[in-house]
Amino acid sequence: MSTKTKLITEPGREVTQDACRVCAPLGACLAFKGVEGAVTLLHGSQGCATYIRRYLISHFREPIDVASSSFTEETAVFGGKANLLAGLDNISRQYTPQLIGVATTCLSETIGDDVAAVLRDRVPADPEEKCKVLNVSTPSYSGSHADGFYRAVRSLVSALTEETSEVFTQRLNVFPGMATPADIRWLKSLFKAWGLEAVVLPDYSDTLDGGLWDTYQRIPSGGTSLAAIRGMGGAECSLEFGHALNPADSAAVWLEECRGVKRLLLGAPVGVAASDLFFHRLQALTGRDFPADLSAERGRLIDAYADGHKYVSGKRAAVYGDADLVATLALFLLEIGVTPVVCAAGGPVSAFREVMKGLVPDFEERGMEVLSDVDFDHIEQATARVGVDFMIGSSKGYKAAKRLGVPLVRVGFPIHDRFGAARQRLMGYDGTQRLFDELVNTLLSHTQEATGLGYSYM
Amino acid sequence: MTGLKLLDERRRQVFEKGSEPADFEIACGKPSLSGAVSQRACVFCGSRVVLYPIADALHIVHGPVGCAAYTWDIRGSRSSGPELHRMSFTTDLRETDIIYGGEKKLEAALRQLIARHNPRAAFVYGTCVVGVIGDDVDAVCRKMTAECGIPVIAVHSEGFKGTKKDGYKAACDALWRIVDSGETTEKRPYSINILGEFNIAGEAWILKEYFRKMGVEVVSTFTGDGRIDEIRNARQASLNLVQCSGSITALASRMKSEYGIPFIRVSFFGIEDVSKALYAVADTFKDNKDIMARTRALVSEELSVLLPQLEKYRKDLTGKKAAIYVGGAFKAFSLIVALRHLGMSVVLAGSQTGNKDDYETLKEICDEGAVIVDDTNPVELCKFMLEKGVDLLIGGVKERPMAYKLGVAFCDHNHERKIPLAGFEGMVAFAKEVHASVMSPVWKFAPRMEAKP
């Protein structure tokens, strides 16, 4: 299937039309939201912080404060040091955070600010300040928000995790990637039920999906504690979800190389096979039997697969968005008999084809087109060319789906035109169950509307 | 919460009427304080919001992917025809472009996009990095103008080069170049341009219908449902109405000094202000008595429909307290009046970009005890919302979750909204919006309310 038609716009082309990604600093802001007492400072112009807040808030529907070092023309000429230092002091005074994560932007990177050196030499204005400050390099001209996310998680671990000779069995580090708050909550309760002491990083399950406040919370409660991150070196192993993440950006790789914690990389547990693999790993770690209630959940999911298979069997889909999620969803779709004929990663992901080849060795024979670093214009053209029954990915694919006349199943980030994105569940047998129900219902609804016959019995 | 201290540098930007001396001058127009978590955006944002609704122009963001991605189709500016403005184009600069420069990429992108989309003009927004890597965007634009036969205009909107207001200025400069390329200078009688009207949810169409009934011709709207050729004809109008004054007064002033077109500041939010605006236009054209007569008939007809509808909302809302935090202060004036009409008082008012005169006016029209803030942040907003016990916050997407978290109702009055709030019918929609949120029974579950006896 290497007969790609020449498109008007090709990867490496001069223009991006309707991007299928946003920039790296956003990912860092999201990752730092999952650390207890943390505030993000974006080192650059005021707009970056504001746009990113708007984008995240529209998805999570929660207050998200992101500070900016608010560059002026002078700052851009003489360097951002003074603004950075003032910004840190002001955040410290206004928020009393435990941690400030400084993420760079295209501007501060281009003018060559040495953020690490500024932080190293910094003397806080308030001698009482007990705030840890760390930095991550997230220039917008490199990678995507997903890369910024992974890099920020890695920076947390590399800046905080202490060396230890003690290893605690049944202690686990978990790096779930850009999971939904609901999936993070599910993971935490699962590990607890299995008697595992798991540190999930990041954990924005409360900070980005919490209750109303009786009084103003400068920093919403919740998040992985700094103490827990410090102690990650003593874990038996690290579970990292992902297929396409760059090892150089991986927190688990860093822990393995620098703290001797074994890394177990596996795909996010979406679908029966991926969940089986995940639970087998947990069984191996704990020596436990497969719990009966989980067995029942698995049974219900397979029952649903049987009841619903005719609605999905032989269908064709376009899946797009962040590379790891695209790979995860592609495997799920294949499992239920849908061919993901377009698998498009919006970000520039090195060797995405090889990654997919490793997961689906015969993807070319199956007629799957694997793309990375593509915009929605490209995705739409590829989809139109091969023809699909539905699209699956973020809400930004809505226009393409509408023009193509196919339904859209909204999964991933961002979801700006529907409600409850933070509570979306994908992982485990029951998460997959919800995704499967949603998918089948979307197709049913589309058929019902398309026939126009008004059947209330489908 | 009441114990919360303001950052020292921000003290002069916060005023409480009655507690501070009346001659306290609110500091404003300053760059945002580093680390303060301003609600403002940047220069680029200012330019982008003003030019965005021009629907037959190509808007290309020259820079890395973020700036274009974050502003893709986020606003409710409607078009009656082409919808090029709802697409997102960027040169998506990468590391190598940062090193070797992005001019060639920009040139190729423009060539490709102009051929593909056939726009009537192209706006090239320069973002932060473009300002520091030294791309000569003007030169590329000149070259492409000559090559493609449409105006290709550089908008100097590097994020760090000032505040959102400087972005407005850059947008006005870009608009001026279109306006000034108009060939017909002949004046059309009883005609107007509406400046600073962005046709959010079709608001410009509501206003145009009023003017049609009054017998006044609308030559162009800047920039709602905007078309390049209409903007070119703008100099034929005999009067400019300036609505979103912060963003577009620069252009109106220039059209006044260069073409002698007078302008008046108006607002179309709230009954009083809409009526006032329509009468002001009729008054300008007072040599035509029919216009004034038709305006009177229009206003009276609209009011007769509107007032009874408002009454039921007013009954429920009387005595409730509101906070307003918006981009431009001029909108805040109208909202204060409109809320009063609904029986509500404003206890907290602020803007991202108000000037000295704006804040003097705010100080005058606000009630005793009201807090006025310039370029505020979440901590301050929440502090004052709680201290003042507000029932409603009016703002944009970034302010919304703060209100909800505290159990406070919210009304979106920003560019993302999909509901028209201008004109007489907009006032009803506004009342309905406010009422639906303030009177929602869900707030009884909010901890703040549950704690109350």
A15/B60 Cβ within 8 A: yes
What integer is the mean pLDDT of B423-450? 94
User: Is B453 buried (19+), middle (13-18) or exposed (0-12) by CB count in 10 A?
Assistant: exposed
pLDDT at B338 over 90: yes
pLDDT of residue B101: 95
**Is B379–A52 a contact, with Cβ atoms under 8 angstroms apart?**
no
The answer to whether residues A247 and A379 belong to one domain is no
Is the domain of A408 the same as that of A334?
yes
Interface of B with A in 97-116 (CB under 8 A): 97-98, 105-106, 108-109, 112-113, 116
Residue numbers in A near B93 (CB within 8 A): 106, 141
A58 touches chain B (CB under 8 A): yes
Please, what's the b/e burial string for A15-31 (b: 16 or more CB within 10 A of its CB; e: otherwise)? bbbbbbbbbbbbbbbbb
Q: Is the pLDDT of residue B453 over 70?
A: no
Task: Identify the residue among B65, B325, B382 best suited for mutation to test binding to A, counting A beta carbons within 10 A and taking the highest.
Answer: B65
Identify the sign of the CA torsion B132, A27, A154, A329. Answer: negative
Q: Per residue in B391-436, pLDDT tens? A: 999 999 999 999 999 999 999 999 889 999 999 999 999 999 999 9
Q: A153 with A173, same domain? A: no
Q: Is the pLDDT of residue B452 over 80?
A: no
Task: Provide CB contacts within 8 A for A121, sequence distance 6+.
Answer: none
The pLDDT of residue B416 is 86
CATH of the domain at A84: 3.40.50.1980
Question: Within this chain, do residues A128 and A209 fall inside the same structural domain, yes or no?
Answer: no
Distances (CA, A) of A353 to A249, A360, A363, B309: 19, 10, 9, 61
A46 and A102 within one domain: yes
Q: Are residues A252 and A343 in the same domain?
A: no
Domain assignment of residue A212, given as a range:
168-286
pLDDT of residue A389: 98
Q: Where are the beta strands (DSSP E) in B190-298?
A: 191-197, 217-223, 239-242, 263-265
The partner residue sitting opposite B38, judged by closest CB among A13, A46, A218, is: A46
What local confidence, expressed as pLDDT, does residue B246 receive?
82
Query: Do A213 and A279 lie in a common domain?
Result: yes
Question: Å from B75 to nearest chain A CA?
Answer: 12
Residue among B160, B161, B143 at smallest CA distance from B152 = B143
Q: Which of A45, A67, A216 sits opposite B406 (nearest CB)?
A: A216
Extended strands (E) in A322-434:
339-345, 369-372, 390-393, 408-410
- Fold adopted by B43-179: Rossmann fold (3.40.50)
B6 reaches A (C-beta below 8 A): no
DSSP B285: T
In this structure, the answer to whether residues A365 and A435 fall within a common structural domain is yes
Domain end marker among A234, A260, A286: A286
Q: Is there a single domain that holds both residue A279 and residue A345?
A: no
Q: Mark which of A157, A180, A197 sits at the end of a domain.
A: A157
Question: Tell me, what's the pLDDT at A425?
Answer: 98
The mean per-residue pLDDT over the stretch B88-93 comes to: 97
| Together in a domain, A117 and A183 | no
Neighbours of A273 (CB within 10 A): 14
B407 touches chain A (CB under 8 A): yes
pTM of the prediction? Answer: 0.96
Count of CB atoms situated within 10 Å of the CB of B447: 15
Average pLDDT, chain B: 94
Please indicate, yes or no, if residue A257 is contained in any of the structural domains: yes
Residue B387: exposure state from Cβ atoms within 10 A (0-12, 13-18, ≥19):
middle
Distance CA(A370)–CA(A330), nearest Å, equals: 10
Q: Is B9 exposed, middle or buried (0-12, 13-18, 19+ CB in 10 A)?
A: middle
Question: Is B33 within 8 Å of chain A by CB?
Answer: yes
Do A94 and A42 fall within a single domain? Answer: yes
Q: What is the pLDDT of residue B1?
A: 42
Residue A413 in contact with partner chain B when CB distance is under 8 A: no
Q: What is the CATH number of domain B191-299?
A: 3.40.50.1980
Q: What is the DSSP string of B48-83?
A: HHHHTTBTTEEEEEESSHHHHHHTTT-S-B--SS--
The list of chain A residues with pLDDT below 70 reads 1-13
Asked whether B194 and B204 are in contact (CB, 8 A), the reply is: yes
CB–CB contact A87 B34 (8 Å): yes
- What confidence score (pLDDT) does residue A14 get? 78
**A contacts of B451 (beta carbons < 8 Å):** 214
Both tokens of A310, joined, read 């005719």
Q: Which residue of B has its CA nearest to A400?
A: B87
Could you tell me if residue A162 is inside a domain? no
A142 touches chain B (CB under 8 A): yes
- Assess contact for A378 and A392: CB atoms under 8 A: no
**pLDDT tens column, A284-305:** 999 999 999 999 999 999 999 9
Question: Across the interface, do A218 and B379 touch by the CB < 8 Å criterion?
Answer: yes
CATH number for the segment(s) B307-450: 3.40.50.1980
- Between CA B440 and CA B143 the distance in angstroms is 58
| Residues A196 and A170 sit within 8 Å (Cβ to Cβ) | yes
pLDDT at B207 over 70: yes
> CB of A49 within 8 Å of any CB in chain B?
yes
**What residues of A are in contact with residue B402 (Cβ under 8 Å)?**
63
The position carrying tokens 């935090």 is: B325
The predicted pLDDT at position A7 comes to: 41
Q: Is B187 on the interface with A (CB under 8 A)?
A: no
Compute the distance between CA of residue A303 and CA of residue A296 in angstroms, rounded to an integer: 10
Note whether A131 contacts B: Cβ–Cβ < 8 A. no
Q: Is B88 close to A17, i.e. CB distance below 8 A?
A: yes
CA–CA separation, B51 vs B60, rounded Å? 11
Q: Which residue of B has its CA nearest to A141?
A: B94
Q: Which of B36, B40, B129 sits opposite A50 (nearest CB)?
A: B40
A360, A259: one domain? no
User: Which A-chain residues 320-339 have CB contacts (< 8 A) with chain B?
Assistant: none
Contact B379 A71 (CB under 8 A): no
Local structure of B193: helix, strand or coil:
strand
Q: Do B105 and A14 touch (CB under 8 A)?
A: yes
Domain count, chain A: 3
Task: Work out the number of other CB atoms within 10 angstroms of the CB of residue B182.
Answer: 17
**Residue pointed to by tokens 């300002």:** B131
A390 strand-pairing partners: A317
Assess contact for A395 and A417: CB atoms under 8 A. Answer: yes
**Do the domains B191-299 and B307-450 sit in the same CATH topology, yes or no?**
yes
Could you tell me the CA-to-CA distances from A26 to A9, A41, A42 in Å, in that order? Answer: 26, 11, 9
Contact by Cβ (8 Å): B272, B337 = yes
Confidence of residue B21 (pLDDT cuts 50, 70, 90): confident
pLDDT of residue A218: 92
DSSP class of B40:
-
pLDDT in tens, B267-283: 999 999 999 999 999 99
DSSP A142: S
**Is B417's Cβ below 8 Å from some Cβ in A?**
no
Bridge partners (DSSP) listed for residue A68 = A42
In the prediction, which pLDDT does A350 show? 86
Instruction: Name the residue ranges covered by the structural domains of chain B.
Output: 43-179, 191-299, 307-450
pLDDT of residue B350: 95
Given A264, A286, A308, which residue is the final one in a domain?
A286
